[in-house]
Amino acid sequence: MKLNTPTFLRPLVGALALAGCAFAHAGEVEVLHYWTSGGEAKAAAALKATLQAKGHTWKDFAVAGGGGDSAMTVLKSRVVSGNAPAAAQIKGPSIQEWGKEGVLADLDDVAKANSWDTLLPKVVSDVMKVKGHYAAVPVNVHRVNWLWANPEALKKANAKLPTNWDEFFVTAEALKKAGITPVAHGGQNWQDFTTFESVALGVGGADFYKKALVQLDAASLKSATMEKVLTTFKRIKGYTDKNAPGRDWNLATAMVIRGEAGMQLMGDWAKGEFIAAGKKPGVDFLCAAAPGTANAFTFNVDSFAMFKIKNEANQKAQKDLAAAIMAPEFQEVFNLNKGSIPVRLNMDMGKFDDCAKLSSKDFVATAQGGGLVPSIAHGMAVPSAAEGAIKDAVSNFWNSDKMTAAEAMDKLVAAARTK
């Protein structure tokens, strides 16, 4: 992917350059990421521009593939062969897993100089630290439990934006009758899993979600509530189109943008696609909490872990990047394009749209009310081995015509034991 500084980022570059950056020890940072869709690429360009404004060189290491599974496979082979990139988009418990391998750099000096402990919610800073030391820097907070809809499509179907799962199926049925694909879905395991976690949250509530999908409690993974979650989840499949298998998430979003599909269950990186296509929230597209989840928030914090590297100039560049990521200018421009909200506390949300403002309000409210939960589908809740196994079990159930909910629950319980 080629990342030039686009017009919308030039003021940012100018501001950062004027901030008096000394270019004496220019270094290079190789950055592994998987931001290759329209909105994601714009956000990645903001990151590149930020680094370049500090006088350093950006070496792009983009590995396409939503959710980052392919990127993580490539990262493993690079690190194993002793050739780690300087920065990699790693998040959640995986930061700890990499930290235990002894391959991550210590960012405590940057964190201290820039007061990260006071600028970040504790639920986030804890995840960025390995044995109490910062090893990663967060860029944003994505909310996963969103429903996106095309208002024109809803109008044609004489249907309303659903707030619970019963309403969801009424709307889906109406869209189907109007000849519109009710649900835009990409049948890839991480997308199935993304839908599944929103259903689990909406049907079971935040406490059930925590027990089943964070604590991996066997009695919750095999329960009447989980059975209801699984049957609701599977029912959605009947409202997707036959070309869903294998489709990328952003192509599913494009179906909603064009009005070919009515709704999509997806995290707010989808908003980045609507925005990149010039669409206006509340006018050309609608955002709402996924059915039944208005009082809850599945968080997904993108972050960059920094790897130990030898070259001194490159180390300096790596730390400059870490510092710049937490600066308000970057947090604003990046998140305006990415669809997420700033992770840095007390940011001015003036330039953000109503979806982002709702996300920001709900993030704070759910943190206080107990509805703030880590996204299992996006690597925030459980160790990666268990996550992968549960993800496979969920997709097997979605794809099978024969598997019963009872069988799926046994698979979930077994998968949760994966170490």
Binding site for ligand BGC (CB under 6 A): 34, 40, 66-68, 142, 269, 300, 302, 378
- C-beta of 378: minimal distance to ligand BGC in Å? 4
Closest-by-Cβ residue to ligand BGC is 269
Q: Which residue has the tokens 């309403």?
A: 167
Instruction: Specify the residue, 54 or 143, whose C-beta has the smaller distance to ligand BGC.
Output: 143
Instruction: Specify the residue, 68 or 162, whose C-beta has the smaller distance to ligand BGC.
Output: 68
Q: Encode burial over 373-402: b for 16+ CB neighbours within 10 A, e otherwise.
A: bbbbbbbbbbbeebbbbbbbbbbbbbeeee
- C-beta of 154: minimal distance to ligand BGC in Å? 25
DSSP tag of 290 = P
Q: Which residue has the tokens 């030898």?
A: 310
Q: Tell me whether strands 87-89 and 133-134 are parallel, antiparallel or unpaired.
A: unpaired
Instruction: Specify the residue, 124 or 180, whose C-beta has the smaller distance to ligand BGC.
Output: 124
Instruction: Specify the residue, 159 or 376, whose C-beta has the smaller distance to ligand BGC.
Output: 376
Instruction: Specify the residue, 34 or 148, whose C-beta has the smaller distance to ligand BGC.
Output: 34
Amino acid (one-letter) located at 11: P
Instruction: Specify the residue, 269 or 330, whose C-beta has the smaller distance to ligand BGC.
Output: 269
Q: Encode burial over 176-206: b for 16+ CB neighbours within 10 A, e otherwise.
A: bebebbbbbbbbbbbbbbbbbbbbbbbbbbb
Interatomic CA distance for residues 307 and 40, integer angstroms = 23
- C-beta of 214: minimal distance to ligand BGC in Å? 17
- C-beta of 40: minimal distance to ligand BGC in Å? 5
Interatomic CA distance for residues 297 and 259, integer angstroms = 27
- C-beta of 310: minimal distance to ligand BGC in Å? 29
Containing 305, the helix (H) or strand (E) segment is strand 303-306
- C-beta of 92: minimal distance to ligand BGC in Å? 10
Instruction: Specify the residue, 66 or 371, whose C-beta has the smaller distance to ligand BGC.
Output: 66
Interatomic CA distance for residues 208 and 206, integer angstroms = 5
* Six-digit token string for 260: 């070919």
- C-beta of 136: minimal distance to ligand BGC in Å? 13
Instruction: Specify the residue, 162 or 339, whose C-beta has the smaller distance to ligand BGC.
Output: 339
Interatomic CA distance for residues 193 and 230, integer angstroms = 11
Phi, psi torsion values for 243, nearest 5 degrees = -90, 5
- C-beta of 290: minimal distance to ligand BGC in Å? 16
Interatomic CA distance for residues 258 and 99, integer angstroms = 44
Comparing CA positions, the residue from 113, 88, 112, 114 lying closest to residue 101 is 88
